[in-house]
Amino acid sequence: MDKTAYFSVYDKTGIVDFARGLESLGFEIYASGSTFKLLRESEVEAEEIRYSPPVPVSILKALSGRSAVLSENGVEVPGFYVVAANLYPIANIVGQEEFAIEELSNYLDQANAAVLRAAAKDFENVITLCRPQDYGPVLEALKTAGGLEPGNKRQLAARAWQYLAAYDATVAQYLSETRDLLGEEVVMSLKKVMDLAYGENRHQKAAFYALSGARPRGLNAARILSGGQFNLNHYLDLNTAFELAAEFEEPVCVISKHAKPTGVCAAAKPVDCFRGAFKADPAGAAGGTAAFNRLVDEDTARALKEVFIETLTAPDYSKEALALLRAKEGLKVIALPAPVLSPREVELYSAAGGLLIESKDQEVLGAELQCVTRRKPSDEELRSLKLAWKISKYAKTYAVALASGGTSVSVSAAESSTYDAVRSAVLRLKEKHPILEGKSPLVMACDAALPLKTLEAALAAGISAVIQPGGWREDLVCAQFCDSRNAAMVLTGVRHFKH
C-alpha cells in the first residue's frame, strides 16, 4: 500500500481532521486549488498539484492507472491509495428562483467530476471518497487494520458512481424542462427530503424524495409547524387534499382519507368551509387530512380543535390560530403554498420489472361545457356540478360524487361499474343525510361516461343535474331521458380515470 492521498473537495467539512489523521499514519498528502490552500492554512503538510481545467489525461491516468506523472507546477503525481473529491452543489443552485439556464455552464464542476470518476474506476486499489461522513470510518479502518477490505472499497466506489450519476441526472433533468420527458431514456435524480416513520404499514420502510435541483412547488415546499413524525399514508392523504383544494379559486376545505376525498365544501369563510366538509362525512373525515386554500384564522382553528383531524395544511395561519392548533395533541400542522404546476410534470407507477410514466392530469374541464338537455343547469346547480366534478377527478375510478349547495354529500370510489358507484353513493347519502337541509338541488358527477341504466338509477334518487365526460354510444338516449325527467345534463369532453 502506497501511503498517498489526494484531496480536491468543494464541501470541506472534516477534510482538515481527515488529513491530519492520515498524516499521523505516515501518509503523504496532495491537494489542489482551495483545498490545498485550506490545508496549508491549517498547518497540514501538503503538496500542491496544479493543473488547468479540464484535467489533463496524464493526471487522470495517475489517479486511475497508478502511474506517476508530473503536474504543471513540476510536482510528481504518484498513484494514490486515498482520493477524496466532491462537486459543486449544482442542485442547490438550479433550484433557486433567480437562477437562469444561461448560467448553468459556469457552475458545472468538470474537474472534480473527472477526478472522482478516475479514482472510482480503479476501485480495487483506490479508496474513493465523495462524502465527509465516510472519512471517520475509513480513518479508523486504516488505523486498526492497515487498510480496507475489497468489498468496502467497492462499496465506496459504488457510492461515488451513484453520486456522479445523481449529479449528471440533476443537470439532465434541469435541461429537460424544455424537452419531452417521455423520451427513449428517462434520467431522474431524487434527493431525500425526510425519512418517514413507516410506509403504508408499520413493517414497511419509507422516505419522501424530491427531484434533485427542482424548485419547491409542491409537497417539497412544505413547512412543518407542529406535530410528530409523518408516515407514507399522511403524505398520500396530504397530496390528495392539497391538490384538490388548489383546483378551486373560491375558499374551500377538502378533507381526505386513504388518498381519496371524503368531504369538500366551498363557502365564504374558511370556518364554514371546514364545518361543511366535516359534516359531509363525519365518520370518514375522522383522522383524515384537512386542506385549505386560504389562511386559517382563529375561528377555523377553534372549530378544528373540536374534532379529530390528524393532519392540516393551509397556505398560512394567523398567529392566534397557530397557537391554538399547536396546543392540540397529535395534530400535524403544515404550511404549504399553492402549487406552481409545470406542463411537463409526470406521474410514476411502480410495476413488475419497471415503471409506468404518464403526463400529469392537469386538465379539469374540456374546452367548453356542453349542455345536451333542453333545461340548462341553474347557477346554483352549475356551481355544485363543478365542485362534484373536481371531487370525482381525485376519487378512484369508477367514482361518483354527489353535491348540494356547494358541499359534497356523498362520494363513492373504486367501484367496478358506474352503476355500482351510483348505487353506493345513493346508499351512503341516505345513511348519512336522510334529510338534506335546505332547498339546494342535488347534483351528481361521474368520472366516466354514463350508460342509460346508471343514469336511471341516479335520477330515481332525486338528482336534478348531472355532469359526465360523454362519449358513450348512449349519450343521445341519456339526454332524451333527462329531458323526460326535466333534469339537466352537461358533458365535459374529458374524463378523469384514476387507478
Q: Span 4-178: which CATH code? A: 3.40.50.1380
**Same fold for the domain at 218-361 and the one at 370-491?**
yes
Per-residue confidence (pLDDT) for residue 394, from 0 to 100: 95
State which H helix or E strand residue 145 sits in.
helix 135-145
Q: What pLDDT, on a 0 to 100 scale, did the predictor assign at position 12?
A: 95
CATH architecture of 218-361: 3-Layer(aba) Sandwich (3.40)
Give the strand pairing for 309-314 and 332-335: parallel
For position 134, what pLDDT does the model report?
96
Name the H helices within 360-451. 379-394, 418-432
Please report the pLDDT score of residue 64 as a whole number: 58
Quick one: 370-491 is in which CATH superfamily? AICAR transformylase, duplication domain (3.40.140.20)
CA 35/CA 46 separation, integer angstroms: 10
Cβ count within 10 A of residue 417: 13
Bridge-based pairing state of the strands 465-468 and 488-491: parallel
Domain ranges for the chain, please list them: 4-178, 218-361, 370-491
The confidence score (pLDDT) of residue 396 equals: 93
Among residues 65, 61, 159, 171, the alpha carbon closest in space to that of 109 is found at: 171
pLDDT at 404: 95
Tally of CB atoms within 10 A around 181? 16
Give CA–CA dist 252/237, Å, rounded: 16
C-alpha cell at 429: 347519502
Residue entry with cell 354510444:
473
H or E element, residue 135? helix 135-145
d(CA 484, CA 473): 19
The whole-number pLDDT of residue 49 equals: 84
Do residues 306 and 328 make contact, with C-beta atoms less than 8 angstroms apart?
no
pLDDT of res. 53: 54
pLDDT < 70: residue spans in the chain: 1, 51-77, 97, 177-181, 215, 340-344, 366-367, 434-438
Looking at residue 324, what is its pLDDT? Answer: 96
- Closest CA relative to residue 453, chosen from 429, 420, 428, 493: 420
- Give the Cβ contact number of residue 245 at 10 Å: 29
C-alpha cell at 360: 400529469
Asked if residues 373 and 385 have their Cβ atoms less than 8 Å apart, the reply is: no
